[in-house]
Each structure stands twice: as C-alpha cells, then as structure tokens.
Structure 1
Amino acid sequence: MTERKTDQPILRCTGIERSFGGLRALKGVDVEVHKGEIFGLVGPNGSGKTTMVNVMTGFYPPNAGQVELYGERITGLAPHKVAKRGVARTFQNLALFKGMSVLDNILVGRHTHMRPSSLATLFYWIWAQREELAHRRVVEEIIDFMQLQDIRDEPVDVIPMGLQKRVELARALVAEPRFLILDEPMAGMNQEEKEYIARFILDARDERDVTILLIEHHMDVVTALCDRVTVLSYGEVIAQGEPRATIADPAVITAYLGARAAARHAGGAA
C-alpha cells in the first residue's frame, strides 16, 4: 500500500546550531520533512549536510534548536533510542562487515528488533528460535525485494561496489523504518548502478511506506527523485523548494560554482 505524500511533517528541525570549537557548522538551520516524500538535502562539500543528519539521529546534540519526530521532541536523544522510533540510515562511506556474507550483513539490521534475555537463552528452542525465524523471514523478504538472491551467501567484500550499496540499503530496510536517511547512496557508482538504486529508492517509498531524506551530490538524481529540496552552504539554508527551481537559484549556482563561474553560467544561459 502506497503512503500518500502529505503536508504533515514527520521530522521538524528548528533553529539548529552546532559548533566544533570555533567552527560554526550549522547556523540556525530549519528543515521539515513531510510524510511520504523523498526530501533532498544538498549542498557543496563542507556545507553541513552530514552534520545536520548527525543532529537528527542523535550522534551530535545541537548547541541550540530543537528536533521533533512525529510530533515528539527527540533533541539530544541517543542514536539507539532514535533508531527505535523508526529511523534508519545509511552512511556516506560503506559500513559493511567484511568477511561476513551478504545475508549476515543484512541480518545485522534487525538488531533494533531483537530482545535478548536470559529466559530466551534458557528456553532457546521455544522462544529464541521462534524469534530468530521471524527475523529471518523479514530478511529473506528484503533480499527478494532488493534482488540480492543470487549473492546472498557471498562474502560482502568480494561483490562490486554497486551491489555493496544495495546490501547497505537492504540492511537499513530490514529495520522496517518509517523514516529512512540515505547519505550519498550513489557515490562511486556508474550510470547503470545509479539507475538501479534510484528504482529501489522509489520502490521503498511507494511499496514499503517509507519517508526518505536523501543526501546526494548528483543533481540529476535529486531532480529525478526528490519532491522538495533544501540547499545548505557554510551551515546555512540558502534555498529550498521544488528541485529544478531550487537548483537553478542564483545563490545555489554561486555556492557550487563560485561567483565568477556563476556569472559566466548566467551569461551563457542568457
């Protein structure tokens, strides 16, 4: 069943400030993600995108501002507690476990749903085994969804980069998130691999009722997938709105190309 896009915010960040020593990485940033959309967070290197996501997910407490998830204040909540509220993420650099199979890497994503206990260990064949089988059913469903059946038993470090990225997305999806954060999921991919991942991202939103925040450098991907975008530069919001119009904003062009190149770009467009 497809989750309809609405104006109902599931994530609202207001006035987020974050500093590292004398460096102000985020300067009063406001971000609002609506239910059922693919929301783009873009900007040049060093603009504060990953820092903003780390604030959202509890890795960095903000120096000022507030984060709300589904109307509940989660500012400064520990990452594992944010995850238990239905948030999953992938990372800019692959965080897969080398030496482990594709299947075992994906199974790790079920950790937020696992409830270890001494009684379950004592009565393994009754309780723990039943729970393990339930987790494996979810994993097998996601393996089919992500079309990873043929490599399920392969060591993850011997498969191509594009497939490793797909495994990382699968590991996030087995957590059964309501809100999924993808940090540059297409980095290092060729065009065919990008098209595959783009399709899986759309299917995750449409078939699994997942709201998605996408950090991405490929502007063709942003315009093709995102419903709305916010652009950061030096820790500040410089533009937001519909993707094509926002990316064409002179302030965004200047942030990416520099003032002189942006002027040449404007002259060429004229």
Structure 2
Amino acid sequence: MRAPDASAPPAEPVLSCRGIERSFGGLKALKGVDVDVFKGEIFGLVGPNGSGKTTMVNVMTGFYPAEAGHVRLLGEDVTNLAPHAIAGRGVARTFQNLALFKGMSVLDNILVGRHTHMKPSALATLFYWVWAQREELAHRRIVEEIIDFMQLQDIRDEPVDVIPMGLQKRVELARALVAEPSFLILDEPMAGMNQEEKEYIARFILDARDERGVTILLIEHHMDVVTAICDRVAVLSYGEIIAQGEPRSAIADPKVVKAYLGERAARRHAGVTA
C-alpha cells in the first residue's frame, strides 16, 4: 500500500457521498451514509450480509436513485444520473453475481467493455474501410493489451461459460478495465474463490491501481484480503457507517466485532483479546 504524503494538501475526493439515504418499502437500507474515496486509493466497503453495501454502490452508479443526500464524482454532482451517464464519466464496475454473456468467447465478452467508447454513425459505416475499421482496430488493440495484462491469452478464444469461475471473475475484471476507467467499483470480486484464485485477483487489483492509475472501491467479505490490499475501509451495519479508517483498526473496533459476531460473542472476543 502507498504511504500518504503528510506534507501534501488534502486532495479533492474522486468520489464523495454525503447523507445518502435509501429505503425499500418500510426498510431503511441506507441512513445518512458519508463516504470519501481519494485518488489512487483502494478503498474497502465492508459489512455483514444485508448491511447496505451493494445498495450503496447502486446509488453511487445510478442504478437506484438516492432519496436524500448527494453523490459527487471528480467534483461534479452526479446524484441520480442514469448509469450510462455515470459510466461515461469514467466509472466502471463489476457485479456481485457474474454478468458475462454465455455462448460468447472470452475475447468478445471483454470487447463488450469498450461500448462506452464506441461512437456508431451511419457515415462511419458507409466509409468503413477509412474510419470505422480504424476505430475497430484501436478498440481491439486495447482489448488485447488488457488480455495480456490479465494473463488470459491462453483462453481468449474459449467460450466463457466453459472456463472455471475463478477465470470468469478475471474476465469480468478485464471487461471493466478495457473501459479505461479512472474509478473502478468491484462488488465481491473474490466470492466463491479458493485461496490461490483470491491471491491472483488481489494481485491484479493492486496492479490496476499501481500500473494503470485506477482508483478502486472494493466490496469484499474476505477480511484477509481487505487488510492486505486496502488503504482505508468503511464498515456498514444496518445502513450506517459504524467505523472508518485504517483497515485493521476499523475491523477491530468493538462495534464492528459486535456487528459481525453478535453481542454475546463480541464480549467473549473482548475477553480473549484483552
């Protein structure tokens, strides 16, 4: 992880959320949530099942409208913009459940990630050999670069539904990266993986930040991963932030231990660690 420069002036957040609220019927899923993510960070958003993590990401990316509060991206208010409009501002995401196109190859699935950069026009089609072909080749070059970056060369032509899930997760991350995002949201990218697969994805996430300059928001249940690669974390419980800061300190907060283990188990944990 990068050590912050204490002498540098505070930077404007890449993403700033203030007072975000969202309900579903009588359930208050988010209760005035504040989150800042700064350039170059890997920021972890963690919490027990049902704490509001994915709802928060869906508000950030325009899939759910916020009922209160605002979302700012690179200083611009993007609250309640449509998902395609937010994607067009340099935001890409992966989903908790795999959203790959079965029956298509690994290469074609990754190429779909270039859609925000494709500008179809009748004139370009008419003069395909002059304009459209040049654009298509440029998209292909970027896709091939990401295939190499994600070490997917050996399966590039395989149907995506016949490769192991760990590789499918890698394909989904590759598809997000070919959009050339400045801000990348990863929703449980290691769910269902074994230890070796988790280590591979963790390495690719770090490389995306360090080599490609991508700021990353990571939702993850594996606390060993969170403490290993995140610069800061925020912990959600029942739609509220209960701890925030350096990963090990935040996760050790008594409120966080209680949220994960329950009050009785948390008291036993405190007794053991005292």
TM-based fold match above 0.5: yes
> How many correspondences in the alignment?
268
Task: Work out whether 1:126 is the aligned partner of 2:130.
Answer: yes
Q: CA deviation at 1:18?
A: 0.4
Give the secondary-structure state (helix, strand or coil) at the position aligned to 1:75: coil
Superimposed CA distance per residue, residues 114-143 of structure 1 (whole angstroms, 9 cap, x where no aligned partner): 001111111111111111000000000000
Q: Which residue of 1 aligns with 2:182?
A: 178
Of 152, 165, 171, 1:167 maps to: 171
Q: Which residue of 2 aligns with 1:10?
A: 14
Q: Which residue of 2 aligns with 1:43?
A: 47
Code of the aligned partner of 1:194: K
Give the secondary-structure state (helix, strand or coil) at the position aligned to 2:81: coil
Q: CA deviation at 1:108?
A: 0.2
Q: Which residue of 1 aligns with 2:225?
A: 221
Of 234, 239, 252, 1:235 maps to: 239
Query: 2:194 and 2:65 mapped to 1: Cα distance?
Result: 36
Code of the aligned partner of 1:61: P
Code of the aligned partner of 2:108: D
Query: 1:19 and 1:162 mapped to 2: Cα distance?
Result: 34
Code of the aligned partner of 1:89: R
Q: Which residue of 1 aligns with 2:263?
A: 259
Q: CA deviation at 1:215?
A: 0.1
Query: 1:91 and 1:181 mapped to 2: Cα distance?
Result: 9
Q: Which residue of 2 aligns with 1:63?
A: 67
Q: Which residue of 2 aligns with 1:137?
A: 141
Any gaps of 5 or more consecutive residues in structure 1? none
Q: Which residue of 2 aligns with 1:150?
A: 154
Q: Which residue of 2 aligns with 1:114?
A: 118
Query: 1:120 and 1:262 mapped to 2: Cα distance?
Result: 63
Q: CA deviation at 1:153?
A: 0.2
Any gaps of 5 or more consecutive residues in structure 2? none
Of 202, 214, 218, 1:198 maps to: 202
Query: 1:261 and 1:155 mapped to 2: Cα distance?
Result: 46
Give the secondary-structure state (helix, strand or coil) at the position aligned to 1:202: helix
Query: 1:210 and 1:117 mapped to 2: Cα distance?
Result: 30
Give the secondary-structure state (helix, strand or coil) at the position aligned to 2:14: strand
Q: CA deviation at 1:93?
A: 0.3
Superimposed CA distance per residue, residues 134-190 of structure 1 (whole angstroms, 9 cap, x where no aligned partner): 000000000000000000000000001110000000000000000000000000000
Q: RMSD of the alignment, in Å? A: 1.2
Q: CA deviation at 1:198?
A: 0.4
Q: Which residue of 2 aligns with 1:268?
A: 272
Code of the aligned partner of 2:141: R
TM-score, reference length from structure 2 = 0.96
Q: CA deviation at 1:22?
A: 1.0
Query: 2:204 and 2:24 mapped to 1: Cα distance?
Result: 36
Of 181, 189, 198, 2:193 maps to: 189
Code of the aligned partner of 2:203: R
Give the secondary-structure state (helix, strand or coil) at the position aligned to 1:94: coil
Between the two proteins, what is the percent identity of the paired residues? Answer: 85
Give the secondary-structure state (helix, strand or coil) at the position aligned to 1:77: coil
Code of the aligned partner of 1:143: I
Code of the aligned partner of 2:176: A
Of 57, 60, 66, 1:53 maps to: 57
Query: 1:122 and 1:176 mapped to 2: Cα distance?
Result: 28
Task: Work out whether 1:27 is the aligned partner of 2:31.
Answer: yes
Query: 1:218 and 1:196 mapped to 2: Cα distance?
Result: 14
Query: 1:19 and 1:125 mapped to 2: Cα distance?
Result: 52
Query: 2:140 and 2:220 mapped to 1: Cα distance?
Result: 31
